[in-house]
Structure 1
Amino acid sequence: MPVRESASTRNTFASTFSPLRHLRSVVLVSAATMLTVGLVAGCSKTDDNSANIVRTTTNIAGAGVVGLERDTAKACPLPSSPDSASGTKTVNHAAGTSEVPADAKRIVVLSTPALDAVCALGLWERVVGAATVTGATAQPAYLGTGIAAIPGIGPVGDPDPAKIAALKPDLILGAAADGNRYDALQAIAPTVLVGDENGWQATFSGFAEAMDRKTAGARALDDYRTAAHDAGVAANSSFTQASVIRFDPKSIQVQGGNSFAAQVLGDAGVQRPQPQRADSFEVTSLSTETDRDKIEGDLIFLMFDGPDGLKYGKSIMQGDDWKKLGAVMDRREFAVEDAIWHGSGITAARALLDDMRANLNGFVGD
């Protein structure tokens, strides 16, 4: 969908006219404000064009909440096959070199990207322990209720070595940030720590190799890329410039081209506003048109960094400067799940594609 015409600098986003901007009159009943962010799609059939428009019916400070009906029952596929039937293999990783089993049976996971990778390769039932995240659930909800029941080993960034050792793992997976405890972990079981400096797809491939699923990992990425392309085509993504922002407790973090959300949207062909095509940056005021143009778009996907980010975000969204944004006036602001849009991994990426496809051409109902 092209950008609405106005005197703002966002006139430069696109020039193709779309009738969708004239179809904002359908009104649906708004539900109570909710913190959990997810997708709900409501559509009232009035004519051929409006039948294709999604209108969300639950909101946070006016933003439609995306993903409330997300089905996580099949978030993790069936188990994939290892590259080797038995034995061990040498894996080079961020903390050194490890000799890992060809088909690990008892896996401990120290980070969400690692857990996402285990899920994406169908091996989540082999996870005997996982580091927990802050929030309402011990693990991100998008990974499903089975993963939520995995025993905890302490929080991400500070796992308990004694709890890990008691689980008798044959493989430990974590992030490069766990490097300061690598020797202690390696003494318990073969440990592979993967960095994120080369992007989320390279991170996923590193974990896949550690689980002796290099072939399955490559296939999963190919399937994801096909899904991203198809989702973009279905949503006519090349006609829309999507702004993506994250409210932290004190500022607005604009998600630039180096962010996970931007990379996934790019794979689907979604365009980004010109100011958001470089790396992520911070905005602390919306008092001027120049400030507002930094977060403007055909629509805005927004997320909150925990309860404090939600509190700050609502204070901004209820202010007059926020309401001057064209996307807000058009009722095209959508609250998305932070664990997904600010995450890393194929499972999160697929969930993000679902959100994009269902809402890229959407409006928020009154």
Structure 2
Amino acid sequence: MPVRESASTRITFASTTAPPRRLRTWGAVLAATAVLPAGLLAGCGKGTDDAMSSIVRTTTNIAGAGVVGLERDTRTACPLPSAPDATSGTITVTHAAGTSEVPADPKRVVVLSTAALDAVCALGLWERVVGAATVSGPTAQPSYLGTGISEVPGVGMVGSPDPAKVAELKPDLILGAASDRGMYDALKGIAPTVLTGSDNGWQAEFTGYGAALDRKTAAVKALEDYRTAARDTGNAVAASLSQASVLRFDPKAIQVQGNNSFAGLVLADAGVQRPQSQRGDSFDVAGLDAEADRNKIEGDIIYLMFDGKDGQKNAESLMHGDDWKSLSAVSDRREFVVEDSIWHGSGVTAARALLDDLRKSLNAYVTD
């Protein structure tokens, strides 16, 4: 098993007192329970009552928004190795760049996309990764995958890997994204290469990587387990009672994450409702000056992610303004910053991490 790090810089505690000032969807439920003694409220039954009796407060915030996931334990992000479907010879894999004969149960894998790396982790094969394209940020790979993966040798940045560095590692399989098609001829000259696209959704993309790794059966099982976890999470937090707005700030605009986004798809699997304006595809909002634009980002709870430092700078400048503070979710203290690499990611490992965030935040509110 990999050596992992466990961050514990956020302090949380359960509370059954001082409910939010108002919640549009939760309002009637809170009004009915606010007058009950704390002990009686905590002793209620399952489902919604459990969710109500474990409201989480956080002491860490950015521009007034609580931060979710700082205490994430990544030691078990990647499970034990899964079993291959075949143990010898080659298998034929059809993918975004054509058809490839790849080795059964590959032993030396180079990974060129975060979605592929997430898949290798989810299938328990991260220790077979001999090289990986890196991402910008404080770590070479998204931190939710754990410190072991961050120490894998780099082969250039995601989107622009160096074929010479890939060749030096003598892989027997290369996994990449459909966007790497321009390098396909160079890559397949080094080792069998599989490029997987996301046009059919992140679960189909994960299944494609599972096939390339000779783990179709394990990939199906991983998705089944994820779907069960999503339903269980939704039931545990009474997901259908809240409408969650999901926003990603880039340096110049606000990207409203619709039902076709990774976060939107995972929230739907958990049964979380979305505001009416966010039930279609993702779209951009230039600012908050117009009431119509503010209405598009309103929700019972707002989740925020930042596209790098410039995205965070843009977010903070808007979040300190009166237009942002006029949003009911903000005045209710129900705005939470989440990790961009998870909520704007792809893969089973990211999806499970998002569900963990959901458990800790959907019924939460921020305190100073």
Assess same fold via TM > 0.5. yes
- State the secondary structure of the residue aligned to 2:72: coil
1:209 and 1:119 mapped to 2: Cα distance? 14
The farther-off stretch of 284-293 and 327-336 is 284-293
**In structure 2, how many angstroms separate the alpha carbons of the residues matched to 1:95 and 1:278?**
30
CA displacement at 1:284 relative to structure 2: 1.1
Among candidates 198, 201, 212, match of residue 214 of structure 2: 212
> Does 1:54 pair with 2:56?
yes
CA–CA distance in structure 2, aligned partners of residues 196 and 118 of structure 1: 16
Match 1:299 to one of 298, 301, 309: 301
Q: How many Å apart are 1:289 and its aligned residue?
A: 2.4
1:1-366 mapped onto 2 (5 Å cutoff) = 4=22, 14=25, 17-19=28-30, 48=42, 51-366=53-368
CA displacement 1:307-333 (0-9 Å, x = unmatched): 000000000000000000000000000
Contact 1:4 1:298 in 2 (8 A): no
Letter of the structure 2 residue corresponding to residue 213 of structure 1 = R
Q: Partners in 2 of 1:219 and 1:313 — Cα distance?
A: 39
Q: Is the 8 A contact 1:248 1:309 kept in 2?
A: yes
Task: Report how many residues are paired.
Answer: 339
Q: Using the alignment, how far apart are the partners of 2:232 and 2:21 within structure 1?
A: 23
Contact kept? 1:232, 1:270, Cα under 8 Å: yes
Q: Give the root-mean-square deviation of aligned CA atoms.
A: 2.1
| Structure 2 letter corresponding to 1:57 | T
What's the offset of the Cα at 1:288?
2.8
Q: TM-score, normalising length from structure 2?
A: 0.89
Deviation at 1:121, TM superposition (A): 0.1
- Cα deviation for residue 286 of structure 1 reads 1.3
Q: Secondary structure at the match of 1:130?
A: strand
Contact 2:58 2:66 in 1 (8 A): yes
CA–CA distance in 2 between the matches of 1:285 and 1:140?
29
- Displacement of 1:3 after TM fit? 12
Q: Measure how far apart 1:18 and its partner are.
A: 1.8
Q: Which residue of 1 aligns with 2:16?
A: none
CA distance in 2, matches of 1:189, 1:183: 10
- How far the C-alpha of 1:187 sits from its partner, in A, is 0.3
Q: Aligned AA for 2:338?
A: V
Amino acid at match of 1:361: N
3-state SS of paired residue (1:18): helix
Give TM-score scaled by structure 1 length.
Answer: 0.89
Distance of 2:21 and 2:232 partners within structure 1: 23
Corresponding residue SS for 2:317? helix
Q: Which amino acid aligns with 1:310?
A: Q
Task: Find the residue that maps to 1:188 and give its secondary structure.
Answer: coil
Contact 1:107 1:172 in 2 (8 A): yes
1:95-127 per-position Cα deviation (integer Å, ceiling 9, x unaligned): 011000010000000000000000000000000
Contact 1:2 1:17 in 2 (8 A): no
**Structure 1 SS opposite 2:131:** strand
State the secondary structure of the residue aligned to 1:54: strand
Pair 326,160 (structure 1): closer, same or farther in 2 beyond 3 Å? same
Partner residue of 2:13?
Answer: none
Aligned amino acid, residue 263 of structure 1: L
Provide, for residues 257-316 of structure 1, a one-character-per-residue CA deviation record: whole Å limited to 9, x for no partner: 110000000000000000000000001121232211100000000000000000000000
Closer, same or farther: CA 244–217 of 1 in aligned 2, 3 Å: same
Structure 2: 5+ residue stretches without partners: 1-18, 43-48
Residue identity in the other structure for 1:19: L
- Identical columns (%): 68
Cα distance, 1:179 vs. partner?
0.3
Gaps of 5+ in 1: 6-10, 24-43
Cα distance in 2 between the residues matched to 1:195 and 1:3: 45
Look up the SS of the partner of 2:255 in the other structure. Answer: strand
C-alpha deviation, 1:152, in angstroms: 0.3
Cα distance in 2 between the residues matched to 1:70 and 1:286:
32
Question: 1:18 corresponds to which letter in structure 2?
Answer: V
Deviates most, 46-55 or 136-145: 46-55
Q: Deviations over 1:174-222 (max 9, x none)?
A: 0000000001000000000000000000000000000010000000000
